[in-house]
Amino acid sequence: MTFSDVAVSHQPLSDSLLFHEFVHVEQYRQLGISRFAELYVRGFLGGGGYDGIRLELNAYSLGARSESAPGSPFSVESEVGSWIKQGKF
C-alpha cells in the first residue's frame, strides 16, 4: 500500500511490487492526495472492486510494460501524465 511517498507491505518488496508502488507515488505526486483518494474510491465503488480502479490498472500496465521489455526504459512521469491528460483515470 502506498500513501503519498511511503510504501508499506506485509510481504517482501519484489522489484515488480516496488515498481507498482512507485507508479502510485507518481500518481500521488501529479494528482495530489485528495484527487488520488477520490479517484481510488470512485474506481473501487463504481468499478465493482479492486479490478475497477483505473489507478491500479495504470500501475499494473506500466509494470507489465517494464517487465516485458526491461532494456527499453520509459518515463513513468510521462505515462502517468498522459493518462491524466487523456482522462483515463
Q: Which residues of the chain have pLDDT under 50?
A: none
Would you say 40 and 53 are in contact if contact means Cβ atoms under 8 Å apart?
yes
The neighbour count for residue 15, using CB atoms within 10 Å, is 11
Report the pLDDT value the prediction gives residue 14, as an integer from 0 to 100.
Answer: 93
Q: pLDDT tens digits for 18-35?
A: 999 999 999 999 999 999
Q: Please report the pLDDT score of residue 24 as a whole number.
A: 96
For residue 19, give the C-alpha cell. 515498481
Quote the pLDDT of residue 42. 96
Q: 55, 43 in Cβ contact below 8 A?
A: yes
**pLDDT score for 50:** 93
Contacts of 8 (CB under 8 A, 6+ apart): 1, 2
